Structure 1
Amino acid sequence: MVDSSVIAGQLTIADAEALVATARASAEANGVLVSVSVVDSGGNLLAFRRDDRAVLISGETSTRKAFTAVQLNAATADVVDAVKPDGPFHSLQTALDRPLLFIAGGVPVYRGGRLAGAIGVGGGAPEQDHAFATAAVAALD
Structure 2
Amino acid sequence: MKKTLSRRARIATGGAVLAAVAAGTFGTVAANASAPESGRDSAASAAPATAGQRDTTTSTHLTIDAATEAAQAALKAAKKEGQRVTVAVVDRNGNTILTMRGDGAGPQSYESAERKAFTAVSWNAPTSELEGRLESAPNLKDIPGTLFLGGGVPVTAGKAPIAGVGVAGAPSGTLDEKFARAGAEALNQ
TM-score range, shorter chain: 0.7 to 0.9
What's the CA shift string for 1:78-127, capped at 9, x where partnerless? Answer: 111211xxx21111111x3x231111000000124321110000000211
Mean Cα deviation higher: 110-119 or 10-19? 110-119
Q: Given residue 50 of structure 1, which amino acid in structure 2 is its aligned partner?
A: R
Identity, in percent, stands at: 36
Q: Which has the larger radius of gyration?
A: 2
The aligned residue for residue 129 of structure 1 is 176
Alignment of 1:1-141 (within 5 A): 9-83=60-134, 87-94=135-142, 96=143, 98-124=144-170, 125-141=172-188
Greater per-residue strand proportion: 1
- TM-score, length basis structure 2: 0.66
Q: Given residue 140 of structure 1, which amino acid in structure 2 is its aligned partner?
A: L
Q: Where does the alignment leave 5 or more consecutive residues of structure 2 unmatched?
A: 1-57
* Deviation beyond 3 Å, 4+ runs, structure 1: none
CA-based RMSD of the aligned residues comes to: 1.3
Q: Which has the higher relative contact order, 1 or 2, with Cα contacts under 8 A spaced 6 or more apart?
A: 1
Distance 2:174 2:67 in 1: 22
In the alignment of these two chains, the number of paired residues is 130
In the TM superposition, residue 8 of structure 1 has moved relative to its aligned partner by: 6.1
Greater per-residue helix proportion: 2
